[in-house]
Amino acid sequence: MSTTQEQAAAIIHPFDHLMRADRLPHIMCAGCGIGTVIHGYARAISESGIDPDKHVCVSGIGCSGRAAGYVNVDSYHTTHGRALPFALGIAVHNPELTVTVISGDGDLVAIGGNHFIHAARRNANLNVICINNFNYGMTGGQVGPTTPVGAIGTTAPQGAIEQPFNLPHLAKAAGASFVARWTILHVRQFMDAVLRSMQKNGFCFTEVLSPCPTSFGRRNKLGEGLDEVELYRQRCRIENGAENLEELGIDIVDHEQTITLGNFVDIERPSFLS
């Protein structure tokens, strides 16, 4: 191999073929964790052994919704809150496809909440990745369905007062076959959870906690993105198979409260097309 060939080989990333290079560099804020999630998803595609042409990525509206535009598989950037019904239509029409939804907490369980519970109830063959940054990051930092009590947002300058959703508990209660929660710090575990979801039938849900330093972290004095990742390192504990999901809520602004991570549910039950 010539020197020129060696130099060319050195700058080729193993996942280059899975990314849309013409869309890079991305538009995410410094410290945002969405890029890490996209990388984990791309790596899961690579390790799944499934032809990339058989993968489909669907996203909704919001910062997380940009994910579908960066991965080099068949992608759909859908309307607000409607990623799941779009994805369900694809999965039902062509069961040979591996359909993954990547979107945010607001898109999936606020305006999209009805679709979420019924897709899980039906146990549709979908892999759902919810990037939870505890607020509506793209539209100005409003509180959302996962904002912890007491956290500050533009629509709650004195602190949120509504009880947030516990997403793993919600997914399990609605009938999901696989339920996990990780953070962008736990990259390997997150990627393995997504890979497991690609191997299973039924509704598979992975929540991944991610910093939003611009809209959420700044207002709640969490520091930069790396500071929030350090918070995950200090406060997270792993309990795979945890059964008491109703007790595993998150209060990211209370530094005394533990955040529990793990693969919580991995069961077999008839899927929507069984």
Q: Span 130-159, mean pLDDT?
A: 93
Residue 64 domain-assigned (yes or no)? yes
Tokens at 157, concatenated: 């300058």
pLDDT of residue 16: 82
In this structure, the number of other CB atoms found within 10 A of the CB of residue 216 comes to 26
Residue 4 domain-assigned (yes or no)? no
Residue 102 domain-assigned (yes or no)? yes
pLDDT of residue 212: 93
Domain count, the chain: 1
- Sheet containing strand 74-77, edge to edge, reads 74-77, 55-59, 98-104, 126-132, 203-209, 178-183, 259-266, 236-238
Gyration radius (Cα) of the chain, Å: 18
Residue 48 domain-assigned (yes or no)? yes
Residue 147 domain-assigned (yes or no)? yes
Tens-place pLDDT, residues 210-267:
999 999 999 999 999 999 999 999 999 999 999 889 999 998 878 888 999 999 999 9
pLDDT of residue 2: 62
Residue 16 domain-assigned (yes or no)? no
Residue 38 has pLDDT above 80, yes or no: yes
Tokens at 139, concatenated: 């539209």
Residue 271 domain-assigned (yes or no)? no
Residue 204 has pLDDT above 90, yes or no: yes
Q: Which domain holds residue 156?
A: 32-266
Tens-place pLDDT, residues 66-99:
888 899 999 999 988 999 999 999 999 999 999 9
What's 87's domain CATH number?
A: 3.40.50.970
**Residue 117 DSSP SS3:** helix
pLDDT of residue 3: 59
Which of 262, 252, 212 shows the shortest CA–CA distance to 232?
252
